[in-house]
Amino acid sequence: MCGLVGMTAERDDVVPEVLARLASVEYRGYDSFGLAFLANGAIGMSKAVGSVSQALHERRLSRLQGSTCALAHTRWATHGRVTVSNAHPHLSFDGAVAVAHNGVIENHAGLRRKFESDVVRFTSETDSEVVAHIIATYLAAGVPLLTAICLTAGLLEGEFALGIISTADPSALYGVRQKSPLVLCEDGGRAAIASDQSALSGIARGRAVFLEDGDLVRLRANSIEVFTAGGGGVPLPVARAHLPCSDVGFTVSKSGHRHFMLKEIHETPQGGQTK
């Protein structure tokens, strides 16, 4: 029941908005939170144990400014202890990629053994960190970022929603959906991605795009591009349904369940876990 929110925009003040929208989905549960943002050609990180709402109330995050692209996450753990190192987003070994993840990567242990080396060192106990390292490994080999994400997604087993930012494309925010919710919205000056539609409340003048399992997405401030994996892991453009954001109803609802935990359990594919 973790929360994931990301945004890219033409203006350079997206961090406060992303953090505020992240706080709005803490009802899903949390033990830690984190933020990755692109500034001056590098990825900055801020992570902590506890509540992002409390951190905002105490103005502990007020120094985080000056970015057009940011990705944030609240974790309710299924892998690893409650520590700063286990909080999302996770940064790749070379600092080129940051990834936030909801869901469970069932084959993460095997992937960790395959990619861990003297260069690629893991710093968390999570199943999620491996994604950042694999994407960065492809990038280091000269593979374009979108293709690197597509190839990485093809290696993963389980259910996952991924948010990704990279120094290889600092104006863009990337996402992947596989059996885990991911909602998109774009209004001509900003584009956002979230694991919960309530996190996009207030973006009323744009369009919402609905992904299918296996879809990849690249968001820029005024565009949303959706792809699916073709032969050999080549990303192919694909059309997906969209509606005006005002018609989607980005509000918090228990959908008839007694509380949000039950709602999440009923929305999770049979046999899966969620985070």
Q: Which range among 72-86, 93-107, 249-263 shows the weakest confidence by mean pLDDT?
A: 249-263
Mean pLDDT of 57-81: 82
Sole residue written with tokens 């242990």: 109
Mean pLDDT of 261-267: 41
Number of structural domains (the chain) is: 1
Identify the pLDDT of residue 24: 86
Identify the pLDDT of residue 29: 64
- CATH label of the domain that carries residue 155: 3.60.20.10
Cα atoms found within 13 Å of the Cα of residue 38, Cβ hemisphere only: 25
CB 74 within 8 A of CB 3: yes
On whether residue 40 sits in a domain, the answer given is: yes
Identify the pLDDT of residue 56: 77
On whether residue 201 sits in a domain, the answer given is: yes
Mean pLDDT of 163-183: 96
- For 203-260, what is each residue's pLDDT tens digit? 756 788 888 999 999 999 999 999 998 878 889 999 998 887 765 554 444 444 433 3
Residue 135: its H or E element: helix 129-140
CB 56 within 8 A of CB 19: yes
CB 179 within 8 A of CB 103: yes
Instruction: In whole angstroms, give the CA distance from residue 68 to residue 44.
Output: 12
At residue 28 the predicted structure's pLDDT band, cuts being 50, 70 and 90, is low
Identify the pLDDT of residue 246: 64
Q: Which range among 76-85, 145-154, 223-232 shows the weakest confidence by mean pLDDT?
A: 76-85
Instruction: In whole angstroms, give the CA distance from residue 188 to residue 156.
Output: 33
User: What percent of the chain shows pLDDT beyond 90?
Assistant: 59
What does R_g of the chain's alpha carbons equal in angstroms? Answer: 17
Instruction: In whole angstroms, give the CA distance from residue 91 to residue 126.
Output: 12
CB 74 within 8 A of CB 26: yes
| End-to-end Cα separation, the chain, in angstroms | 5
- For 10-20, what is each residue's pLDDT tens digit? 988 899 999 99
- The interaxial angle of helices 108-115 and 129-140, nearest 10 deg, is 40
Sole residue written with tokens 């706080």: 23
Domain span including residue 14 = 3-267
Of the ranges 71-85, 164-178, 188-202, 205-219, the best mean pLDDT one: 164-178
pLDDT over 90 at 94, yes or no = yes
On whether residue 272 sits in a domain, the answer given is: no
Identify the pLDDT of residue 251: 46
CB 167 within 8 A of CB 69: no
Identify the pLDDT of residue 103: 92
pLDDT over 50 at 57, yes or no = yes
Computed over every residue of the chain, the mean pLDDT equals: 85
Name which residue leads in pLDDT, 270 or 162: 162
